[in-house]
Amino acid sequence: MTGEIVALPYERPALAQALGADYEERLLAAHHWMTLARELDSRMLGLQRQGRIGFYGPATGQEAVSVAAGLASRPEDWIVPGLREQLVALVRGHSLARYVHHLFANDRDPARGRQMPCHPTAREVKYVSMSSVVGTQITHAVGIAYGLKLRKDTGVALAFFGDGATSANDFHAGLNFAAVLSLPVLFCLTNNQWAISVPVERQTHVKELAMKGSAYGIPSRRVDGTDFVACYATFAEGLEAARASPGPLLAEFLLYRMTPHSSSDDPSRYQAPDWMAHALAHDPVRRMEELLTRLGILSDAAHTSVREEATRLVKEAIAEAESVGAPTPESMFTDILASGPLPVPPRSEPA
């Protein structure tokens, strides 16, 4: 994936085959979520720089993968994220307001301020909180998939991780365990080509990371992660295959990281000067907009309306979150003990 990409080369028959007969509605829904995500990243990075939230890890450039996963998965599927999959939870039904409460770590944060920002927990959409420890979520997802198989559940575990995690122990242990036991897990490798400051070519000798799946007998493929249509088709086919004949699959989604690793990072210290130009040439939001415009699905007025709506929704969520105070001291025991602190037994007097 190098050079300029002007437009997605899809016509309507190909879209109907990849996305279904209702492909126009699905594309418009994807565009809505991708636009909202871009607005959310921009606003939250700004708030972090102003000191209004403590930390933020943007997912700019990864919108096509996350939206496709959210739209293609079913309610019974489990999402085990890496670092930038918060959008999957939102697409699956997690409240934007609740997520922003989490970012502010206020009294309505489901984690009650106990977890880092961008590490939401969304029980209602089976979205497991990430840990930030590289690769550990892979074995967690495999364990969930093992439980699904034992219970004869139709759900599939989706494990998200980056290129750096393919050099971690949990990657190899997880893939081997899933393959040996034929578990319903879809390994979603979001290769944005940077493990914080380490380029992918400095951590592995294989030409494509998807090749690592073959060492464990796992069907694998490499996908253009900036192409929503290709991403959605990959998730839809992979999830259907995992349900029909339980067994793992690996999909490598090739992306371009369009922002710093997090609000604590300065990529100008290690990225080449032309990196951002390459990244912008593969902007998944711009590519989606060009496709919709070329097919006459999205008018200029509708495009403006989508952007304005995204701005309104994010601003309203921020205003609500900033009106809520910090967690109360009593909440320290919420979700920890059944009914508050346990009684302390009386101290026995020495005989």
Active site residues: 257, 261, 270
User: Under 8 Å CB-to-CB from 43, ≥6 apart: which residues?
Assistant: 314, 315, 318
Residue 51 to residue 277: CA distance in whole angstroms = 29
SS3 assignment for 222-249? EEECCCHHHHHHHHHHHHHHHHHCCCCE
Secondary element (H or E) of residue 97:
helix 96-104
Residue 86 to residue 286: CA distance in whole angstroms = 21
**Cα atoms in the Cβ-side hemisphere of radius 13 Å centred on 278:** 14
How many other C-beta atoms are found inside a 10 Å radius of the C-beta of residue 17?
Answer: 13
Find the DSSP H helices in 245-299: 275-281, 284-294
Residue 71 to residue 343: CA distance in whole angstroms = 48
Q: How far, in Å, are 61, 85, 115, 139, 299 from residue 66 at the CA level?
A: 10, 6, 22, 20, 25
Structure tokens at 117: 């920002």
What are the start-end ranges of the E strands in 133-262?
157-162, 185-191, 194-195, 198-199, 220-224, 249-254
